[in-house]
Structure 1
């Protein structure tokens, strides 16, 4: 996507792209701003899906001339990145770092997952993106800081942060996509565990038959909370190994 959709020629005037310009006033008297456009885009995405990201629909919702949006965003992709960064910012607002690394990773992950699934249409577009914007940078710094303070060397902290964030956003994207399904499709998927799977031939599918009640109970809820605990157990084991290597190296240095 190269430009905000709905424009006659798709070209954003190059001299009008810098941020920090004087705010324009909408037809309702509201000052048009980067923040207002992003929040409106998130709201429209929740109502209309990705079709909401057109200058015509955004302009109508804002009570502004559609062409004025080009003063703030070069393209649809530029707006998507801003939406993605806003979701990250929303997830970080209520996170309090305690100094207990396991609890802090849990808090960051749970908040990020909760924010994305609260805005499923926006999350589907945003979960895979690298925003290169302040909220994302803040989030990366917080995540690396938690892991480094726990005792991971910087290179290990980077690798584990990558695993953690992809793990969390992967779950968020799957759960958001399920929540964004049309009502009829969502109802059919939920019913399948109680209906289709409950009726399978036990001789042909013995493991499903033995687990069918548990499948019906668990498969319609997000697996993220339980999977996060498994991930944290693995991270704790990795930390023990890293601290053991560090201690071994220190003893070797003392011997020399």
Structure 2
């Protein structure tokens, strides 16, 4: 190939889109959706963007920074609530349900967020919003602060459980019911007698009940003061 042909082929090749943090996160989320969270590496994201891993460090500080940027994108898309004392309990449920659905829609991301402190703009705004709703509902400031921490644990673990269910298509409730009812009743009289209650409710129903239990408990604490 002569030099003129090389210049012409170079010009005819489609130009790569410019790199940016948004482009890096977009590529990482596509890999997450198609291959799972373990496949989200600097090398694979760089390959998807037709560049080298070193070029990504301009936008994210390694894989941990990449996962944080993905979490930021996901949480930033969750619609917040304007605190309303007249419907604050419903607002807590709606906000947490949206966050839970966002994590479930991105399998594996909840496990990466479970130990992450609220550092990004999106997670700090979510924290601010939750505190505003709980304080509008009349909770004491310390109780409201603890509630936010408990809710984060509930959301993350519920989403992680949903991820596990995807990997195990058999109905977990049926499996548990069979296991509980097969136990010797003379040794486990309560479990065998209440096996149906132990497995009743899908993950969304159980999540709703857990959030209500936290709210009711904290309201009772406030009332005792």
The TM-score normalised by the length of structure 1 is: 0.69
**Cα pair 2:42 2:62 within 8 Å, conserved:** no
Figure out how many residues of one structure are paired with residues of the other and give that number. 209
User: Cα deviations across residues 231-255 of structure 1 (Å, max 9, x unaligned)?
Assistant: 222233344456xxxxxxxxxxxxx
Between the aligned partners of 1:137 and 1:174, the Cα distance in structure 2 is 20
Please state if 1:221 is matched with 2:203: yes
Between the aligned partners of 2:132 and 2:73, the Cα distance in structure 1 is 21
Q: Please name the residue that 2:75 is paired with.
A: 88
**Cα pair 2:74 2:102 within 8 Å, conserved:** yes
Between the aligned partners of 2:30 and 2:110, the Cα distance in structure 1 is 12
Deviation at 1:36, TM superposition (A): 2.7
Q: Please name the residue that 2:91 is paired with.
A: 104
Query: Which residue of 132, 138, 160 maps to 2:143?
Result: 160
The TM-score normalised by the length of structure 2 is: 0.77
Q: Please name the residue that 2:7 is paired with.
A: none
Q: Please name the residue that 2:134 is paired with.
A: 147
Please state if 1:52 is matched with 2:34: no
Using a 3 Å threshold, how does the CA distance of structure 1 residues 45 and 131 change in structure 2: closer, same or farther?
A: farther
Q: Please name the residue that 1:33 is paired with.
A: 20
Bigger mean CA deviation after superposition, 175-184 or 103-112 = 175-184
Q: Please name the residue that 1:118 is paired with.
A: 105
**Cα pair 1:119 1:176 within 8 Å, conserved:** no
Using a 3 Å threshold, how does the CA distance of structure 1 residues 58 and 168 change in structure 2: closer, same or farther?
A: same
Q: Please name the residue that 1:201 is paired with.
A: 184
User: Cα deviations across residues 65-97 of structure 1 (Å, max 9, x unaligned)?
Assistant: 332211101221112222222232122x2x332
Between the aligned partners of 1:210 and 1:168, the Cα distance in structure 2 is 31
Deviation at 1:117, TM superposition (A): 2.3
Query: Cα RMSD between the aligned structures?
Result: 2.7
Structure 2 gaps, min length 5: 1-13
**Cα pair 2:103 2:110 within 8 Å, conserved:** yes
**Cα pair 1:128 1:169 within 8 Å, conserved:** no
**Cα pair 1:45 1:53 within 8 Å, conserved:** yes
Between the aligned partners of 2:166 and 2:212, the Cα distance in structure 1 is 31
Using a 3 Å threshold, how does the CA distance of structure 1 residues 47 and 166 change in structure 2: closer, same or farther?
A: farther
Deviation at 1:149, TM superposition (A): 3.3
3-state SS of the aligned residue for 1:226?
helix
**Cα pair 1:117 1:172 within 8 Å, conserved:** no
Query: Which residue of 230, 234, 245 maps to 2:213?
Result: 230
Deviation at 1:57, TM superposition (A): 0.8
Using a 3 Å threshold, how does the CA distance of structure 1 residues 182 and 114 change in structure 2: closer, same or farther?
A: closer
